[in-house]
Amino acid sequence: MINKINPSFFILLMLFMNLEKNDASDRVVLLSIPSEIWYNRIYLIADKKSWMDYGNFTVQIGDRGELVYNFPHWYHGKYDPALYNVDINDDTLEDVIIVLNNDKAGIGKPLKDIHILNQIQDPYRRYEEAPIEQPNLTMNRLVKIEKHGNIVNILADKKEYKIDISKYNFTNPRDPSVSTDTIEYSIENGTLKGKINAYVVRDNSVYGGILGHLIIDYFWDGQMYKAKSKSITFKQDEPENN
């Protein structure tokens, strides 16, 4: 089924375009969420700088240009972005969540950029960008991982997990760690989740054998989205058969 878009949207899109720009970038709708109700349609708009690079983002809610939010410093490259319209802070209002890929983030920084626009009604409908705790800060605050011989202990949010790495086909396993730059975001039953790899270094490489994944449930504390008590679990990957 093809969703029809109100013609007024294309008029607005022309207004977003800077006609004095050269042909190095085009203004495009990168993603959209359709709706039968015109004021609930959501558009993620950006400058296409190359076949895989996007910048100068705009989030537009509705077709008439009443709710338009510009984010000139957002960047996306490679892989697919994600766009959600879900209530993730339990206030019955649907929020806008954007997940972009940032392969230019630098060493030690997440390759996924998440941006959250909380919906607010006071009394008029509007959106405000909400902060989210960086995954390295969450790990430092709530996770401890160490290795004793062939046993890796993961203490995640006061719950301990023991993994016998002798059952895995790891060559020269050394230090255990978590890779916060590999975080993946998803939404399940109205809860924002982050998934982070836990691994042991092997063969002098930066990353080695994967032990499993730490799953973070994010909650709104009135100021930012962050993990709270008993919101981190570990899911172990089963060893491959020899």
Look at residue 212 in the predicted model and tell me its pLDDT. Answer: 94
pTM: 0.84
Look at residue 238 in the predicted model and tell me its pLDDT. Answer: 86
pLDDT tens for each residue of 195-237: 999 988 865 555 568 899 999 999 999 999 999 878 999 999 9
Look at residue 4 in the predicted model and tell me its pLDDT. Answer: 45
Residue 81: asked if its preceding bond is cis (omega within 30°), the reply is no
pLDDT tens for each residue of 44-59: 999 999 888 999 999 9
Tell me the pLDDT band of 79, cut-offs 50, 70 and 90.
Answer: confident
CA–CA distance, 27 with 17 (Å, rounded to integer): 6
